[in-house]
Structure formats: C-alpha cells, structure tokens
Amino acid sequence: MFPKRPAFGVDCGSGPFVIAEQWETATDARQERFEVIRSMLQGLFDLSGRTALVTGAAQGLGLAMATGLAGVGAQVVLNDIQEDKLRFEVARLAAAGLRVGACPFDVGNPVHVRHHVPAIEREVGPIHILVNNAVIHRRGPIEDCPKPRGTTSWTRT
C-alpha cells in the first residue's frame, strides 16, 4: 500500500479539485503493479519538493507520466479538457496517496493558459517540470485529414 501523503487542491476558478476516493476500489493486482513500479523508480531518483504540470493527462501517456512523476515524490497538476475523466483519475491517484491536483483547461486557448498557469503557481508553487503532452489525435487515412488552414490546427493543442 502507498504511504498516505496529504493531497493538495488546485483552485483554477471552479473550486478545489482533489476528491478522495477509496483506493480499495482498485483491484489487488493493480495495486501490486503500482507498488512494484514505484519502489523500482524510487531507488533511481526522487522528485520530492518538485512541482510538475502535465497537459493532456486524463488518459494515455499523459496520465502514465503524471502517475510516474507523482510516484517518485513530485506534486503533480494534471490538466486536460476532458474534465470528468480528469477528475476521476485525479481522485483515484489522490486516494492512492499521491500528491496530485486537477486543473482542467484548454492549453490551445491563450486566455485559459494566461489565467490558469499563474493560478497554479500561486496556489501550488513554481512549476519545475512541464510535460507538454496534450494532443488531438486524428486517426485515419491521410487523405481524410482536414486540410490545414493557416496555423489553426497547430494551435489547437
């Protein structure tokens, strides 16, 4: 079982985002896998006292990287535009004793970024590690991809 650490909340304008959820709801096999990975990583390096922001962290590689960073001691702010999914995953990690907070906003929107990043730094402290991971995947034949219009497609994530 993970040692319990205090969770922290990030207020990005719509309330505190850390919600406790029973770690016991995870399967035994999943808990054991987490513990093995965490103990291996802790022997390699320690990110205690560091703060990370991982964008696009409600699923996939972003969620995996956020879990890894938090597992070696960093406090991690997870960001995504899928707010419900983000809150669910943050609650799951927080219940496992990891220091995580959710900050849902659109990284492709400069107004959101200018608002939320300083808010995170005010409430949690300076961001030492930025994982700029958010992406919109379009899977399919290249001929079905929408034609780029200027920089619009690029700036969406």
Ligand X SMILES: NC(=O)c1ccc[n+]([C@@H]2O[C@H](COP(=O)([O-])OP(=O)(O)OC[C@H]3O[C@@H](n4cnc5c(N)ncnc54)[C@H](O)[C@@H]3O)[C@@H](O)[C@H]2O)c1
Site residues for ligand X per CB under 6 A: 55-56, 58-62, 79-82, 106-108, 133-137, 157
Q: Which residues pair with 131 in a beta bridge?
A: 54
Query: To the nearest whole angstrom, how small is the minimum distance from the Cβ of residue 58 to ligand X?
Result: 4
Cβ proximity to ligand X, 73 vs 103, nearer residue: 103
Residue nearest to ligand X (CB): 60
The Cα 22–Cα 94 span in angstroms is 9
Q: Is the dihedral of CA 98, 3, 27, 45 positive or negative?
A: positive
Comparing CB distances to ligand X, the nearer of 57 and 124 is: 57
Measured from the CB of residue 3, what is the shortest distance to ligand X in angstroms?
28
The rounded distance, in Å, linking the Cα atoms of 152 and 144 is: 17
Q: How far is the CB of 156 from ligand X (least distance, A)?
A: 6
Nearest-angstrom CA–CA distance, 41 and 64 = 13
Of 18 and 53, nearer to ligand X (C-beta) is 53
Q: How far apart are CA 145 and CA 157, in angstroms?
A: 16
Residue 117 CB, shortest distance to ligand X, in Å, is 12
Question: Which CB sits closer to ligand X, 10 or 73?
Answer: 10
> How many angstroms separate the CA atoms of 98 and 77, rounded?
11
